[in-house]
Amino acid sequence: MPNISVITVSDRSAAGVRPDKSGPLAVQLLSEFGQTSPATVVPDQVCDITRAIEQAIRGGANIVFTTGGTGISTRDVTPEATAKLVSKRAEGIEAALRNNPKVPAAALSRGIAGVIELDSRRAFIVNAPGSTGGVKDAVGAIGPLISHICEQLLDADHTAPAEKIGMSAHQQATFAVQNRGYNDGSDAQVVFAGLTPEPIDVIALQESVRDPQAGAVVLFDGRVRNHDDGQGVVSIDYEAHPDAGKVVERIARACAKGSGALKLAVVHRYGHLEVGDVAFAAAASAAHRREAFELLEKAVEQVKAELPVWKKQEFTDGSHAWTGSA
């Protein structure tokens, strides 16, 4: 079983000024992937960080997970302390930790990942950010790979195809079943694409894309909500450009082309809508869910981004606002 050591790098936590939250969280999450012990806390000092890493490896750890000190502040020196010990960088892991579209600040992390060789022992180290969110993301990236990493540290042969590494036996079996099909690059049929002033029947829209070949039918049901950016909403009036219907049709056909799905239907409403009314709906079908989901998401996002429709929102306080967004 992998032996995992967690090190928290924080001046304030080391001084007892602030409780360590990221270290215990890392220990908890990593316990699913190996044997863990309570986190060691050290200050933001290169010598202290290096010493803690070396002690962990000499103590039997083959995975060392540090949290904190990866940013660009003056005291952030965890990567510098780690770089002194690493013999082989795992740049793919580093990129995975930094590439998080939902957290732009992740790009500022300078964390290092790689192999450390010390006293004839080999271990793998990962520098995670000090936030609890950063810890969760880092464990999500490294956790499923820990078993395979430990095999490679022992110079073992690959025991599974690359796409199955990190999967349990159940996950591998499910993967095999769910990936028997493939995208043949065929065009989906656009059943309907346009605008309407009438209420949208989402059930009818969903039924319109059903097909005997379809193993997956997915639906997007976008409705007027009762709030927007902290303000209560009463209603929305949509005004459409005369060519808006043609725009929807163009987008639908472009998305359907080469999608490997079967059918697509997209409709946006205009006119006066109350809270709860359907403003935008789309449905897609395919032999397998992946192609259906991908086509639906692509069509919805492109319509939202490109459709020349303007909306006037009436708020509960009597005010209103115009925005140029579907």
Q: Given this model, what pLDDT does residue 171 score?
A: 52
CB 77 within 8 Å of CB 43: no
Spatial distance between the Cα atoms of 206 and 193, rounded to a whole number of angstroms:
13
Spatial distance between the Cα atoms of 29 and 32, rounded to a whole number of angstroms:
6
Name 24's Cβ contacts closer than 8 Å, sequence gap at least 6. 38, 39
> pLDDT tens for residues 129-147?
999 999 999 999 999 999 9
Q: Given this model, what pLDDT does residue 179 score?
A: 55
Q: Given this model, what pLDDT does residue 185 score?
A: 84
Nearest alpha carbon to residue 135 among 59, 24, 231? 24
Distance of CA 80 to the CA centre of its chain: 28
- Would you state the CATH architecture of domain 3-173? 3-Layer(aba) Sandwich (3.40)
Spatial distance between the Cα atoms of 88 and 86, rounded to a whole number of angstroms:
6
Q: Given this model, what pLDDT does residue 167 score?
A: 53
Question: Residue 51 is encoded by which pair of tokens?
Answer: 């010493």
Q: Please provide residue 43's backbone torsions phi and psi, each rounded to the nearest 5 degrees.
A: -75, 170
Name 18's Cβ contacts closer than 8 Å, sequence gap at least 6. 10, 12
Output the 3-class SS for the chain. Answer: CCEEEEEEECHHHHCCCCCCCHHHHHHHHHCCCCEECCCEEECCCHHHHHHHHHHHHHCCCCEEEEECCCCCCCCCCHHHHHHCCEEEECHHHHHHHHCCCCCHHHHHCCCCEEEEEECCEEEEEEEECCCHHHHHHHHHHHHHHHHHHHHHHCCCCCCCCHHHCCCCHHHHHHHHHHCCCCCCCCCCEEEEEEEECCCCCHHHHHHHCCCCCCCEEEEEEEECCCEECCEEEEEEEEEECCCHHHHHHHHHHHHHCCCCCCEEEEEEECEEEECCCEEEEEEEEECCHHHHHHHHHHHHHHHHHHCCEEEEEEECCCCEEEECCC
Nearest alpha carbon to residue 138 among 168, 156, 176, 112? 112
CB 55 within 8 Å of CB 49: no
CB 86 within 8 Å of CB 148: no
Please list the pLDDT of the chain residue by residue as tens digits (326 residues).
899 999 999 999 999 999 999 999 999 999 999 999 999 999 999 999 999 999 999 999 999 999 999 999 999 999 999 999 999 999 999 998 888 777 888 889 999 999 999 999 999 999 999 999 999 999 999 999 999 999 999 987 655 555 555 555 555 555 555 555 566 789 999 999 999 999 999 999 999 999 999 999 999 999 999 999 889 999 999 999 999 999 999 999 999 999 999 999 999 999 999 999 999 999 999 999 989 999 999 999 999 999 999 999 999 999 999 987 66
Q: Given this model, what pLDDT does residue 281 score?
A: 97
> pLDDT tens for residues 78-121?
999 999 999 999 999 999 888 877 788 888 999 999 999 999 99
Equal CATH topology for 3-173 and 189-324: no
Q: Please provide residue 62's backbone torsions phi and psi, each rounded to the nearest 5 degrees.
A: -110, -5
Spatial distance between the Cα atoms of 295 and 195, rounded to a whole number of angstroms:
19
Question: Residue 250 is encoded by which pair of tokens?
Answer: 């163009």
Domain range annotation of the chain: 3-173, 189-324
- % of the chain with per-residue pLDDT over 70: 91
Query: With respect to CATH, is domain 189-324 assigned 3.90.1170.40?
Result: yes
